[in-house]
A and B are shown apart, each in its own frame.
Chain A
Amino acid sequence: MKLAGLLLLVAGWAIVVGAVALLPSAGGRAGFVLAGIAVELFGLALAIRAHLVLPAEGE
């Protein structure tokens, strides 16, 4: 889950960069940038969840 989260973070960023570099229209670009951000937030949530520490580990 940790790796999946980090990969989703990178994938979301790739969508954002691709949209900025390749799409000419402002509307399409904004849509893909927001979609990329959504993918990143999902990845961040996964990464956070993967790092939730069980009480025994914190002792």
Chain B
Amino acid sequence: MTPFVAPSLVTLPEISAVFCLLLILLVPFAGAGLALINSGLGRSRSAAHAMVGALCVTAVAALVYVIVGFAWQGAAGRPDHGLVVAGKTWGWIAAEPFFLRGLRLDLSPAALVMLLQVFSVGLAGMIPLSSGADRWRLGAICASTTLLAGWTYPLFAHWAWGGGWLAQLGANCGLGRGFVDGGGSATIQVVGGLTALSITWILGPRRGKFSAEGMPVALPGHNVVVVLLGCVFAWIGWMALNSAGAMLFLSVEPGRAVLIAINTTLCAAASGLTAAVVTRARFGRPDASLIANGWIAGLVASSAAAALLKPAAAMIVGGVAGILVVWVADFLEFRLAVDDPGGAVSVHAVGGLWGVLAVALLADAGPRGQWMAQVVGIATLLGFVLPLSYGLNWLLDRVYRQRVGREGELQGMDLFELGAGAYPELDIHGDEFLQR
């Protein structure tokens, strides 16, 4: 293991740094959007629990990331541990002190990276919330987020964004510009989406979700209006996230934010409309929750390449995401018996993987070998992040049961864990969906 310093972040002029800071401060809108979507797609008797869970995830993620996460992730140009293989040094983990010691918290690129990460690690942590809706205990949510923010996320983020070995694929092996993920299709969305898959596997389906014959029973979300409002919040946050990420990790000039905002919007628009057309063709009517999922899948897919796409290519990226999200959501539920109430796996994991691949297929041509760098990134997500996330959460489940007991699930997470419902004046606790 050789200590070394990875290539530096580009220093931003002060006006650009301030612009980047303002963009970063809009990123929490994406988290607010996801929180509303998660809550709306769950059942009414767990609505307050979903929102409290989102707040707890944000809080735990920020604390853990500041205490230990940034120490593992670091930033390009900061101290790093490297492995020398075949004469080349590959960065694998940062060598920062805990509690951000040694980092100047000003408008320097490293400080901006750290601030963006404090928000985006919370965003990643919020993704599994929707897959565990109606049955994931609050304590387990916090513990699982600790593992994500303290280990899984920072490690992959170092490799992709912190000057680690994925980012070095270009310099060390001549694979394009190295792994490209401007706004976090992989680092935020797929990492969160694969954690969501781990959580659905570990928790199992909601009580009553599958009939005795194995057929899924529809458990519709309780408030589609909140879901669609969440889509609007997420759109604002995503434009900021993609722009700030591209400035910090792809070194694009601030003026490129216009193109990024257009591409982000086009991706979401094409994806949402495609989901509407596909559901209209399949079910006879457009499905509101799948349209919302299509919108978010478009945002997710846009993140990796929004700075590098032409607008027409962004529409294609979104259109494909819209088809994928509907098809995969159905496939997961009907063929694989995965109960994912908010569609986190199809929206964030699959949408994010498509976004990463789209860099190689549709982004403005860079140096040769870019497709290989993107494929290596995808292989790392499936072959490292998924087993790590599953293993950590499986171990957690051994020492602290993650799923609520039968009584809690029947009563609803609001009353059982919080002692009060989200809508106390309404009679909403009769469950017409449960088979008796």
Closest B residue to A50 using CB positions:
B201
Q: Mark A28-45, 1 if CB is under 8 A from B, else 0.
A: 011001101100100110
Q: List 21 A-B contacts (CB under 8 A).
A: A6-B386, A6-B387, A6-B390, A9-B386, A12-B382, A21-B90, A34-B375, A47-B390, A51-B201, A51-B338, A53-B204, A53-B205, A53-B210, A54-B214, A55-B210, A55-B211, A58-B207, A58-B208, A58-B210, A59-B208, A59-B210
Instruction: Give the contacting residue for B204; candidates A20, A37, A57; CB below 8 A.
Output: A57
Given contacts A10-B383, A33-B372, contact A20 B213 (CB under 8 A): no
B81 within 8 A of A: no
Given contacts A6-B390, A21-B86, contact A58 B205 (CB under 8 A): yes
Q: Mark A1-32, 1 if CB is under 8 A from B, else 0.
A: 00000100111111011001110001001100
Binding site for B on A (CB under 8 A): 6, 9-14, 16-17, 20-22, 26, 29-30, 33-34, 36-37, 40, 43-44, 47-48, 51-59
Instruction: Give the contacting residue for A22; candidates B86, B209, B384; CB below 8 A.
Output: B86
Question: Which B residues are in CB contact (< 8 Å) with A48?
Answer: 336
B1 within 8 A of A: no
| A58:B173 contact, CB within 8 angstroms | no
**A-B pairs with the 9 shortest C-beta distances?**
A13-B383, A58-B210, A16-B379, A58-B205, A55-B214, A53-B337, A21-B85, A51-B201, A6-B387
Chain B CB count within 10 A is highest, among A29, A43, A55, for A55
| B384:A37 contact, CB within 8 angstroms | no
Size bracket, chain B contacts: 35 or more
| A55:B383 contact, CB within 8 angstroms | no
Chain A CB count within 10 A is highest, among B175, B369, B383, for B383
| B380:A37 contact, CB within 8 angstroms | no
List 15 additional A-B contacts (Cβ < 8 Å) besides A16-B376, A20-B169: A6-B387, A6-B390, A10-B387, A11-B383, A12-B379, A13-B379, A20-B173, A21-B90, A22-B85, A36-B379, A36-B383, A44-B386, A48-B336, A53-B210, A58-B209
**Bound: A37/B214 CA distance, A:** 31
Question: Which A residues are in CB contact (< 8 Å) with B375?
Answer: 33-34, 37
